Chains A and B, each alone.
Chain A
């Protein structure tokens, strides 16, 4: 396909005996915000180092715009990376940092400065930052400078190695949205790696989830959230209610632990596995309300999550999680009914 800018074919990487990544097949479209998500040790850093050109794959091919780039070193690839540490040059000013890739190309001083100030503006930094030292910038400002420097390089693909992980929550949220905004405005291909699926969800067009050196699922945030490929992906997004089930007949599932029966979620073909109900898809029910599956239990704990509140409800000898808007009348110790409708649950292989 012509609009595939990056393609990985059977890429594997070994360090001695250790298999860092294996059997990676992936394609990223031009202009896409693509995120690789995985816990530490899942091989995402190895992946990005190979993509940028700082490591070579042990097997398989990496194609950029259709050309094999396995052996092209980082300094001759049309890609650029924003490092986790940002890797800003402490001995250069903000302006000199941004101009660095242009200076390498022998661009005239005047043009460099114009471009640097343009980029500063684009990233909501005033012109005064041009002559500031890096040490005078705050964490968020440094992020922006690092991004400006990468944009000055004008790469075909821009890689990010968890650059936001060291920032506080609010700033991270702001920058996530800004990053997405810049990606849309510039139309560049962004490939981002992070350990936070939440962060990936906010920004990405598509997400690849990695585990132990392999890709577990690739899909839009919607697909990842609503139809996780397996239990690992389902749990990666946050706490979920899980039921080990097997299919009793075409319409019903049997709970392997409690013998309870739940209706089969629509369009599922799995015969045995995990039935997943997210806390926000579970409902607290009044006496008159109906749901496809219903439980009676006692509130054991409540956690306020901001605009929402999460209840941990004890049902026989298991705990279920349910989330609702804040301001519910329930307290710890109250008896409650809760349940879900079949179309709010997902059946996945274990």
Chain B
């Protein structure tokens, strides 16, 4: 009785096969989907996927949709129009775009130059120096605005710098705030880690023997730099540059806090459109254009770059 195999296992097997048979219509496609969904990773990635869809792609889609709504409307139930984009191009918004792109470019270039020696030292001389890394990262724990106000207090007329020099030497320092160089200074200061760390990773990927081999074959310091170090560190350099450029392109605090109102960045315009002007569609149109600009740049550069290779190669 106990181990009579025939009758007891047969119906069970039939039931199993029944449950696998899907609904009429597209049985194979459903089976394929079930198979796909059962792979390891699909279910695990679901929470992240949901957050990504609703928390990241959703708002982005909303912004793009709003950019096609009539000016000063607060709903998506109107007929789509291009009037916001017309406004953007007719008005002087191109100036803000130009300032943003220009300042972002300048900041990125300056940071490339400033960070190379530091990245070099960080990855080759002070290898695994926790203290140095910590010192470089620590400012990130303090709010950007607070740090920028620190600069304001330092550079202000009768501020820390001016006051000290005035008291000690009796010299007067001309106003250092509210101009373009000080905005760039702020950006360079705030975004330094974003250039530095990818670059240090890039520098650490240059095999010492390649450097020595080039030197051995008669390369000067400059030739080693140009022919070996730069190309081999390029993935890190590009990622750092990209990160910095994209972040500075959308930055706002440096121009507002250090620059006063001397320069209006595009992010400032977007903020104004959404707040004071209560013109969400216009702000959305500006945002969409900014996203487009960054997107073209990022995708263009990243397609030339194999990130897997960068992270796996030693």
Contacts and interface: CB of A to CB of B under 8 A. Distances in A.
Whether both chains belong to one complex is answered with: yes
Nearest to A101: B217
B167 to A, nearest CB: 49
A100 B212 contact: no
B209 interface: yes
B232 interface: yes
A212 B304 CA distance: 50
Interface in B204-218: 207, 209-210, 212-218
A87 interface: yes
A80 B210 contact: no
Contacts of B223: 104
Contacts of B172: none
Contacts of B220: 75
A85 B207 CA distance: 10
Interface in A79-93: 79-81, 83-91
Tell me what chain B mostly uses at the interface: helix, strand, loop, or mixed: helix
B213 A81 contact: yes
Interface string A46-86: 00000011100000000000000000011110011101111
A190 interface: no
B7 to A, nearest CB: 62
Interface in B195-246: 207, 209-210, 212-220, 223, 227-228, 231-232, 234
Contacts of A101: 217-218
B234 to A, nearest CB: 8
A76 B212 contact: no
Which bucket holds chain B's interface residue count? 10 to 19
B219 A104 contact: yes
B219 A87 contact: no
Given A87-B209, A104-B223, A80 B217 contact: yes
B213 A83 contact: yes
Contact of B207 (A53, A87, A105): A87
Contacts of A53: 216
Q: In the complex, which of the residues B216, B218, B231, B232 has the most CB atoms of chain A within 10 Å of its own CB atom?
A: B216
A289 B38 CA distance: 79
Given A90-B232, A104-B223, A85 B217 contact: no
Contacts, number: 62
Q: In the complex, which of the residues B214, B217, B223, B228 has the most CB atoms of chain A within 10 Å of its own CB atom?
A: B217
A153 B209 contact: no
Interface in B169-216: 207, 209-210, 212-216
Given A100-B227, A104-B223, A89 B210 contact: yes
Interface residues of A, number: 27
B218 A105 contact: yes
Interface string B232-276: 101000000000000000000000000000000000000000000
A86 B231 CA distance: 18
Contact of A75 (B210, B215, B231, B232): B215
Contact of B218 (A89, A90, A153): A153
A89 B218 CA distance: 15
Contacts of B215: 54, 73-75
Contacts of B214: 89, 100
Contact of B228 (A73, A83, A84, A89): A89
B210 A76 contact: no
Contacts of B231: 89, 91
A87 B218 contact: no
A103 B227 CA distance: 10
A83 B214 CA distance: 11
Q: In the complex, which of the residues A52, A86, A101 has the most CB atoms of chain B within 10 Å of its own CB atom?
A: A101
Contacts of B218: 75-76, 101, 104-105, 153
A140 to B, nearest CB: 19
Contacts of B234: 91
A90 B235 CA distance: 13
A53 B232 CA distance: 24
Contacts of A84: 209
Contact of A91 (B209, B213, B217, B232): B232
Nearest to A146: B213
A151 B207 CA distance: 22
A104 B231 CA distance: 16
Contacts of A103: 227
Interface string A232-246: 000000000000000
Given A104-B218, A105-B218, A87 B227 contact: no
B227 A54 contact: no
A89 B215 CA distance: 13
A74 B216 contact: yes
Interface string B292-311: 00000000000000000000
A153 B212 contact: no
Contacts of A100: 214, 217, 227
Contacts of A89: 210, 213-214, 227-228, 231-232
Contacts of B219: 75, 104
B92 to A, nearest CB: 45
Interchain residue pairs A-B with the least CB separation, the first 4: A87-B213, A87-B209, A101-B217, A91-B231
Given A53-B216, A83-B212, 16 more contacts: A54-B215, A75-B215, A75-B216, A75-B218, A75-B219, A81-B213, A83-B209, A85-B207, A87-B207, A90-B210, A90-B232, A101-B218, A103-B227, A105-B218, A153-B217, A153-B218
10 contacts: A53-B216, A75-B217, A75-B220, A80-B216, A83-B209, A87-B213, A89-B210, A90-B210, A91-B234, A103-B227
Interface of A: 52-54, 73-76, 79-81, 83-91, 100-101, 103-105, 149-150, 153
